[in-house]
Structure 1
Amino acid sequence: MATNRLTAESREQALAALEGSTSPTAELDVLVVGGGVTGAGIALDAVTRGLSTAIVEAQDWASGTSSRSSKLVHGGLRYLQMLDFHLVHEALTERDLLLKELAPHLVRPVPFLYPLEHRIWERAYVGTGIALYDTLASLAPGKRAMPLHRHLTRSQMAKKFPDLAHDAAIGAVQYWDASVDDARLVTTLVRTAAGYGAHAASRAQVAALTQSATGAVNGAVVVDLETGKRITVRARSVINATGVWTEQTEALAGSEGGLHVLASKGIHIVVPRERIRGKVGLILQTEKSVLFIIPWSRYWVIGTTDTPWVEDLRDPVASATDIDYVLEHANAVLAHPLTRDDVIGTFAGLRPLLQPGTKEGTSSAKVSREHTVATPTPGLSVIAGGKLTTYRVMAKDAVDHAIGQRAAGLPSITHRIPLVGAVGLQAVARLARSWAKRYGWSPSIVDHLLHRYGSDLTELVELCETDPGLARPLEHASAYLRAEIHFAVTHEGALHLEDVLLHRTRLVYEVPDAGLAALPEIVDVVAPLLGWDDATKEAETAAYRARIEAYDTAATLPDDATAQAARLHVGDVAGMVPLESD
């Protein structure tokens, strides 16, 4: 296997491989455009079929929708109301596969309460639905990954969630789903794909698609946003997995065909764990969406919203109206209402909502209610829709569609490919006891490390053995070790300070100051690894501070237009170039 380390050097090697693909003997089989969970899954699927594969992302890995989700791996209870049993079964099968085989370190079970307001009919109705949910999960191969649901009385419910308002429910049904750090899942997928030989380059934007004399797409022009260099890439198949940017990327081929995708914004707020007394999560129906109150590490994630988005697609933000909406609906069931002062962070993402039908001239394969794969022009495949939980199925369908008849002889095997950190997890968990004693790590730190890195914890320990100072927690962000900051650069492809704080850690919303107090220490770890001089260190620090100020300002503004204008008033560390569509 090739190395699964993502570094500045491995990125340069990937770009060199892309540049060399113009040689007839080096042409890629598959070029994946988009480094979210779908694109990362496609890269892993393609490379493990034996196809020469590259994946490029215009910004950081998972910088779009795939770092801004509700962080749930679930079957989708709401689809049962639509009688879409196949879709729910498919998602539950993928959930359990991740839990048991593919990523047991990253994906963990979480119990949820579904509060009941009516004693008889609602308990029967909801109980029947969740029983069906459990039954569909039981159809997955092997031993159950989750406990069965159970009905709770009001007193039992109060013990599970003491801060649920006394008059909010007469009881509840407890069921199980799972959670995941979405950005870590994406980075782990990319690392796994790289380990099998995929060429992976972040901050590498597709600015144009190239076409043969017959009009078939045969590659792309990629711009290295770190240097401005333009690289022509040749590939037999190009797969567009750019989410809400789907139509813009399709347009690069100059075709009228393709998929229609609309953006819908969902926001979440983050509050400290001690602010709400509860041992489980809550799921609540609202007039517009579903509201989750999710226990996550040292805090609660609460959301979401579902509102049309017509502003710039770059880095959407939460407005004051969004935050107030979530607070209002959470406070409707909480015994001790939350205020704006309790909110230590927010994040906003755009759902790529697939619209019915495809554009004229498009060859498509309708795969499910959730996602569709299409060919707007020969050589270009497009996938849109779907959700985090079913990324692997989406990837399989996209590669099958892209390579056509070759798929019969090269079937997908990703259901048997554990992600980096999964193999040897139990053994490393036992070894961690001695490491904890050696370095003075608390049980919570060890659990944090195993959850984030799995068996890759051995690599962090090697860093600590070389430099014992890396075993210390950050002074102003003590949930993270200095070794984790080092690892973000030497193994996980962080190129900028914001990559570390937004996606490798989640300090941007995990602590009240968005990690600003920890910046000097983080910079001290990162700078030597990336060769930063004093001017670069100052520029990186200033860029992150400016971004946080923009987020804070946006959160005080009343609507999407003013909030997004405040955010985009601050530039990006590696700004994107204009697309070169016909």
Structure 2
Amino acid sequence: MRILPSWTRSHAAQLSPQRRDFELVRATSEEFDLVIVGGGVTGAGCAVDAASRGLNVALIEARDFGSGTSSRSSKLIHGGLRYLEQLDVALVHEALTERGLLTSRIAPHLVHALPFLLPVKSQAQRLYYGAGLFAYDFLASANRWGRGVPHHQHFGKAATQRLFPDLNDKYVGSIGYYDAQTDDARLVSTLARTAAGLGACVLSSVEALGLERGPDGISGVKAYDVESGERMTLKTTRVVSAAGVWSDEVTGLAHGRSGINVEASKGVHLVLPREAIQGDTAIIDRTPWSVLFIIPWDRHWLIGTTDTSWNLNLAHPAASASDVAYLLEQASETLGKRIDISAVEGVYAGLRPLLKGESDDTSRLSRTHAVVEPERGFVVVAGGKLTTYRVMARDTIDRVTRDLPYVQPSRTEYLPLLGADGWEYYLAHTAAVAKRYRQSEDVVSRLLHRYGNLAVQILELMRQQPQLARPLAGDEQYLRAEVVYAARCEGALHLEDVLARRLRVSIETTDRGVKAAEDTAGLMATVLGWNETTQDNEVACYLDRVAAEKRSQQQPDDNAAENARMAACEIRRVLELSTSR
């Protein structure tokens, strides 16, 4: 199969409402080489890998693409300094190689180099950290794709203060180095669209219910369309579970044990306005219990993360008051200034799927990923990290296809994601693009860094409908055209899909998107054909979600926080109840 440049696949990669109707028919009429359960970064990556090898593949996700762990990370593409300290050299080398691939070839429009400062308290600590960063740079340079960001350098106290005026003056200096940053949710939706452009059947709001079996083993996946309430069977003899923290639940569909056990670890992040902290780089520092990140995020700062066991609801991990207080305390200690809770704009919590070994063979896998086949034709991939999604996908599809003849090896190392081709050309000619579409250079640059070459589609939409060039109500950064584009081309089916993932209004505004809800729902209604009742339900559920999250963040512990969060309605649950009557 010839790999087409992403710009030639942009039309085929539109996840429109009409495309979804077509895919639902296709899901019940075709026989697939492979069905992938789970639409996070790993599942979407598996779909890209499989489709690029010429397989007929279906990807199903019970909620929205990236709605779990993959949209709630620290948003870093990095090698992992702490893994180097643990002497997991192979994992660090692998991650650094992927970092280089993503920044230079696969997704340069989505993954960008980010400067960090690592503060040091003594010269002995400088030598220790410096040796680690020398190894970090060496491992990055050991592979031609591992490069792509500058090497580390040392700064004295005065230079450190110039780079980050709000850093605590207890530090004698710092070491500067680079990693990379991405909008994790946008990366996932771009992977899903790339898979669709390669011919994959891509469906969100379709939940796997179980496996169907025939005389020769697996014959299909029983599934449920959350939007319509209809049940279906996707015909296939091979299934991949890429369900992250839900891996144990999905493995239960096979009525067997996978040999691995996934434990959920909660990571909480705070979002602050950029003016709350004076600094020009990201900060990484140690705390007694975890690693502290203070990361610039466009007009904001991200502060994270916690690392605590979570045994409650997997769909809606809740941040408690103690989580928020802990992060504020640790950030205040590193910065040498008190960060008050009043400065917090947004809070989000995600669950990291950690591998917990059930045998001597799997116990060592907790910091990497595992691919197992508990039943012939049923493959489970679990663990890993955002940075290494492509390697996880490659290993998974290698396992799935090992007994299939004439299947090509993975080609994703050479496959740019949708929006990547020609991105640098557009960026170099931002002024000309801005002049052509009568927009400011700032607007064009921001769109290019979010959509790559597909930014032109949004600019064209704004030219055709000038009212869509206005900012979204309640958030001056995002444009109304982006909402229409999300519903028309990016598979957004509900208000939360747009405000929490296609855009990041839910964590980037002090009201968590309340002011934007009505405007956004009205724009989506024109694309998705919502009536007034549906539109009102979408807004009501979103506002209820925001209120519940705020209540949860005032609770003292995880149990109380979860009870507060779970009191909110969820639009897909509302649909499920209405269609089951």
Using the size of structure 2 for normalisation, the TM-score is: 0.94
Residue pair 1:226, 1:574 contacting (<8 A) in 2 also:
yes
1:540 Cα shift? 0.7
* Alignment partner of 2:148 out of 138, 142, 145: 145
1:285 Cα shift? 1.0
Q: Deviations over 1:108-128 (max 9, x none)?
A: 011101100012x11111101
Q: Letter of the 1:145 partner, please give it.
A: G
Whole-Å separation in 2 of the counterparts to 1:440 and 1:346: 36
1:571 Cα shift? 2.3
Equivalences for residues 452-491 of structure 1 within 5 A: 452-491=450-489
Flag the 1:81–1:408 CA change in 2: closer, same or farther, 3 A: farther
Flag the 1:366–1:220 CA change in 2: closer, same or farther, 3 A: farther
Whole-Å separation in 1 of the counterparts to 2:363 and 2:420: 33
Q: Letter of the 2:224 partner, please give it.
A: V
Instruction: Find the residue that maps to 1:185 and give its secondary structure.
Output: helix
Instruction: Find the residue that maps to 2:402 and give its secondary structure.
Output: helix
Q: Deviations over 1:10-41 (max 9, x none)?
A: 122112111113xxxxx100100000000000
Match of 1:97 in 2: 101
Q: Deviations over 1:428-465 (max 9, x none)?
A: 22443234346664443333211100111111122112
Residue pair 1:439, 1:471 contacting (<8 A) in 2 also:
no
Instruction: Find the residue that maps to 1:405 and give its secondary structure.
Output: coil
- Residues 1:28 and 2:26 are matched in the alignment: no
Match of 2:179 in 1: 177
Flag the 1:219–1:358 CA change in 2: closer, same or farther, 3 A: farther
Residue pair 1:43, 1:190 contacting (<8 A) in 2 also:
yes
Match of 2:4 in 1: none
1:524 Cα shift? 2.5
Whole-Å separation in 2 of the counterparts to 1:341 and 1:366: 42
Flag the 1:318–1:440 CA change in 2: closer, same or farther, 3 A: farther
Match of 2:204 in 1: 202
Match of 2:85 in 1: 81
1:358 Cα shift? 5.9
Q: Structure 1 regions of 5+ residues with no counterpart?
A: 22-26
* Alignment partner of 2:511 out of 499, 506, 513: 513
1:476 Cα shift? 2.2
Q: Deviations over 1:487-510 (max 9, x none)?
A: 111111111111110100010010
* Alignment partner of 2:446 out of 448, 465, 470: 448
1:357 Cα shift? 3.7
Whole-Å separation in 1 of the counterparts to 2:364 and 2:199: 30
Q: How many residues align?
A: 567
1:213 Cα shift? 3.1
1:368 Cα shift? 8.9
Equivalences for residues 35-434 of structure 1 within 5 A: 35-119=39-123, 121-141=124-144, 144-167=147-170, 169-213=171-215, 216-357=217-358, 369-406=367-404, 409-434=407-432
1:521 Cα shift? 2.0
Match of 1:533 in 2: 531
Flag the 1:44–1:142 CA change in 2: closer, same or farther, 3 A: closer
Whole-Å separation in 2 of the counterparts to 1:368 and 1:559: 26
Flag the 1:465–1:259 CA change in 2: closer, same or farther, 3 A: same
Instruction: Find the residue that maps to 1:255 and give its secondary structure.
Output: coil
Instruction: Find the residue that maps to 2:279 and give its secondary structure.
Output: coil
Q: Structure 2 regions of 5+ residues with no counterpart?
A: 1-8
Residue pair 1:364, 1:373 contacting (<8 A) in 2 also:
no
Match of 1:24 in 2: none
Instruction: Find the residue that maps to 1:144 and give its secondary structure.
Output: coil
Whole-Å separation in 1 of the counterparts to 2:146 and 2:210: 48
Q: Deviations over 1:270-306 (max 9, x none)?
A: 0000110000000011122111000110000000001
Residue pair 2:168, 2:334 contacting (<8 A) in 1 also:
yes
Q: Letter of the 1:344 partner, please give it.
A: E
1:135 Cα shift? 0.7
Q: Deviations over 1:186-230 (max 9, x none)?
A: 00000001001000000000011112235x333211100001100
Flag the 1:446–1:528 CA change in 2: closer, same or farther, 3 A: same
Whole-Å separation in 1 of the counterparts to 2:152 and 2:536: 53
Whole-Å separation in 2 of the counterparts to 1:257 and 1:160: 49
Match of 2:3 in 1: none
Flag the 1:56–1:143 CA change in 2: closer, same or farther, 3 A: closer
Residue pair 1:150, 1:174 contacting (<8 A) in 2 also:
yes
Q: Letter of the 2:149 partner, please give it.
A: M
1:80 Cα shift? 1.0
Q: Letter of the 2:377 partner, please give it.
A: G
Whole-Å separation in 1 of the counterparts to 2:442 and 2:375: 52
Q: Deviations over 1:158-212 (max 9, x none)?
A: 0110001212x10000000000000000000000010010000000000111122
Instruction: Find the residue that maps to 1:47 and give its secondary structure.
Output: helix
Moved more, 142-151 or 371-380: 142-151
Moved more, 222-231 or 312-321: 312-321
Q: Deviations over 1:510-554 (max 9, x none)?
A: 010111112222222211111011111111111100000000100
Q: Letter of the 1:322 partner, please give it.
A: D
Task: Say what the alpha-carbon RMSD is for the aligned residues.
Answer: 2.0
Q: Letter of the 1:65 partner, please give it.
A: T
Moved more, 243-252 or 436-445: 436-445
Flag the 1:143–1:77 CA change in 2: closer, same or farther, 3 A: closer
1:154 Cα shift? 0.4
Whole-Å separation in 2 of the counterparts to 1:369 and 1:398: 17
Q: Percent identity of the aligned residues?
A: 45
Match of 2:6 in 1: none
Residue pair 1:400, 1:407 contacting (<8 A) in 2 also:
no
1:142 Cα shift? 5.8
Residue pair 2:356, 2:363 contacting (<8 A) in 1 also:
no
Q: Letter of the 1:20 partner, please give it.
A: S
Flag the 1:368–1:291 CA change in 2: closer, same or farther, 3 A: closer
Q: Deviations over 1:295-354 (max 9, x none)?
A: 110000000001011111111121101000111110102133111101110110011111
Whole-Å separation in 2 of the counterparts to 1:480 and 1:350: 27
Match of 2:491 in 1: 493
Whole-Å separation in 2 of the counterparts to 1:266 and 1:285: 16
Residue pair 2:97, 2:147 contacting (<8 A) in 1 also:
no
Residue pair 2:38, 2:60 contacting (<8 A) in 1 also:
yes
Q: Letter of the 2:53 partner, please give it.
A: R
Flag the 1:409–1:220 CA change in 2: closer, same or farther, 3 A: closer
Residue pair 2:68, 2:350 contacting (<8 A) in 1 also:
yes
Whole-Å separation in 1 of the counterparts to 2:371 and 2:425: 40
Q: Letter of the 2:178 partner, please give it.
A: W
Residue pair 2:285, 2:334 contacting (<8 A) in 1 also:
no
- Residues 1:6 and 2:15 are matched in the alignment: yes
Whole-Å separation in 2 of the counterparts to 1:364 and 1:126: 30
Whole-Å separation in 1 of the counterparts to 2:462 and 2:63: 30
Residue pair 1:94, 1:389 contacting (<8 A) in 2 also:
yes
Instruction: Find the residue that maps to 1:110 and give its secondary structure.
Output: strand
Whole-Å separation in 2 of the counterparts to 1:539 and 1:35: 25
Moved more, 503-512 or 330-339: 330-339
Whole-Å separation in 1 of the counterparts to 2:483 and 2:37: 27
Whole-Å separation in 2 of the counterparts to 1:305 and 1:243: 19
